[in-house]
């Protein structure tokens, strides 16, 4: 196989990988964003509960 054909096959392989991986990366980016938001929501909930407990206790 010539150098040009090998380079072309490599490029095609990378395009196929990118085509497959882009949706996977996008999916995990969304999952990560949801986990971050869930963590922030959990933290806010815990802070609200502590504030309510302090208010009820005083």
Digit-coded pLDDT (tens) for 33-57:
999 999 999 999 999 999 999 998 7
| Confidence (pLDDT) at 13 | 87
Q: Tell the residue number behind the tokens 């802070």, with chain if given.
A: 47
Q: What percent of the chain clears pLDDT 70, i.e. is strictly above it?
A: 97
Backbone φ, ψ for residue 45 (5° rounding): -65, -45
- Look over the chain and give the mean of its residue pLDDT values, rounded to a whole number: 87
Kindly state the helix (H) or strand (E) to which residue 23 belongs, with its residue range: helix 3-57
Rounded (5°) CA angle 33-38-41: 125
């Amino acid at each position: 196989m010539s150098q040009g054909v090998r380079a072309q096959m490599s490029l095609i392989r990378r395009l196929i990988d990118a085509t497959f991986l882009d949706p996977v990366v996008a999916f995990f980016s969304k999952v990560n964003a949801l986990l971050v938001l869930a963590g922030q929501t959990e933290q806010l909930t815990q802070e609200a509960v502590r504030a309510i407990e302090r208010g009820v206790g005083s």
